[in-house]
Chains A and B, each alone.
Chain A
Amino acid sequence: MKIAGLIVVLLCGCLLIYGTVDFPEWGDPASPASTHVSPYYIETTMEDTSVPNIVTAVLADYRGYDTMFETIVIFCAGIACIFLLRTYTHQAPETRLYRHIPTGIILRIKKGGKLPEDSTDFERVDLQWVPYDLIIKTACRVVVPFVQLFALYVIAHGHHSPGGGFQGGVILGATLILYAISHDLRTTIKRMSEKAVILLSAAGVFIYASTGALCLLFGVNYLDYSGLAAILGVDPVSARSHGILIVEIGVGVAVMAVMVSLYYNLSSVGKQDEGL
């Protein structure tokens, strides 16, 4: 098996090397890839969209349709993960650990025992429970707001510096993951419930798709943000720039929600009670 695999792989590699022979030189400014389509983007971005970051402009405007489906792919993964893993059937509660908050005593409640579910004196803790780690928790609490602010900054400044909706969304999702890692999954779910996550992921993608659809109402093609000029009250070029920003916000929201939902489901196998 291994040798057969190696042979297949080597054959594939030889084919690839064979194809490499006619490649243009690495970094050649006169190669077809650099001379056919891309000069148009580089030279007209400022006039068309007034966005200095060419990648953002191409991503969200010239090829905005790709990006919409990229967001859909992420959304699809989120839904797929919920579809595959989430368990809704409530089994009889297994063994659970509770901490009595005023005294710090840990109670182990076996199957069938009475659960102090609604009491404020008790706090549920994970079965594979880690004692209160002061340093990590406090450090994460200090760090999380800054990282969130940074993520929002990345989303908002996608026009001028690297970054944009996707990167910011991932970082924003990562802060919630960080919170979940440093505290535990239930605390995070209290802060951001599962319903909210699903709603946000759909809302983010909806912002993108409906921004495009709004353009249809003004008689221009789908995703042609210059049609939004009438609503936004600016000239078509700035309308494109603002359209890109709106779309990036949609991407950010969707990606954040999906990343969080993926983490919720992967780390708890769909039970969403205790995680990593």
Chain B
Amino acid sequence: MAELQQNTETADTKSSSFYRDFLTKFGALFGLLILCIILSFSTEYFFTVDNMFNITRQASIIAILALAVLLPILTSGIDLSVGSLLALSAMVMGVVSVNWGLGPVLGIISCLAVGAFFGWLNGLALTKLRLPHPFISTLGMMNIARGFALIITGAAPIAGFAFSIQYIGSGSIGPVPVSFLVVIFLYVAMHFFLTRTTIGTYIYAIGGNKEAARLSGINVDKILILVYTSSGLLAGVAGLVMVGRVDSAFPLAGMGYELDAIAAVIIGGASLFGGIGTVWGTMIGTLIIAVLRNGLNLLNVSSDLQMTIIGAVIILAVYIDVLRQRGQTKEA
């Protein structure tokens, strides 16, 4: 019977599958390249070493938040609280390390711990309270955490962080921003985690079919809690980088960033229905947005028009992806 079904198996030979893989992986990258080429021709300031690192520095915070929302999205969830958690962990770090004078190490630890803790609460709300969709629990958390971030110092910003903290957000090694290195490290680690470990596979499985995952013996709740805790932790890291970048923690930091981060993840090819998405796609999605913002600034486009253009590019980027995938299905 093996031979029977052979030719429903089609022209999908090794080489065409390689080609398809290539496209799938590098489709968004292609869009990014086109964007870069257009900008290089439009403004002489764009394609300079300086500006390239400028972009990576500007992209770093959204890049980390995008990673933070990638995980829940892979499980067919979402995390709307990352922007607020960024602010809250930054404020706590300020209080601990500056106001209480306990120094950078304890500050950083508390920053990450706060992020992870509130992320864990998101996970609990989803799994233990059995809220139907994390949209609602993380929307609630978005408000709760923002409120706390405001209350904690009565809305006063905190400045005067230790050099080591500033270094993470604004230092460079040679011309390379430290924040960019942080991003690279996180992305490599996450890629490895998602593709090489059992838990990584389970995350995709849960996003694909939660009930099937459960019936396959996967402890779905445990994994979901881990996912939301990691998401919060990453928001904490983003808070750390943000503070380093502006040398101040302020309670309205990161407002609305969650939508940018989600957009980056989806431009990068992930599906809101779960189970589909990659770390590299996310990186490219982030860069598309960052490059676009930077380029439009360099072209001196007003911020109003920038909004409209970015909106159009979001749709365009995803549409290109749709076209590409359709092309694939047709020819393969």
Chains A and B form a bound pair:
no
A contacts, CB < 8 Å to B:
none
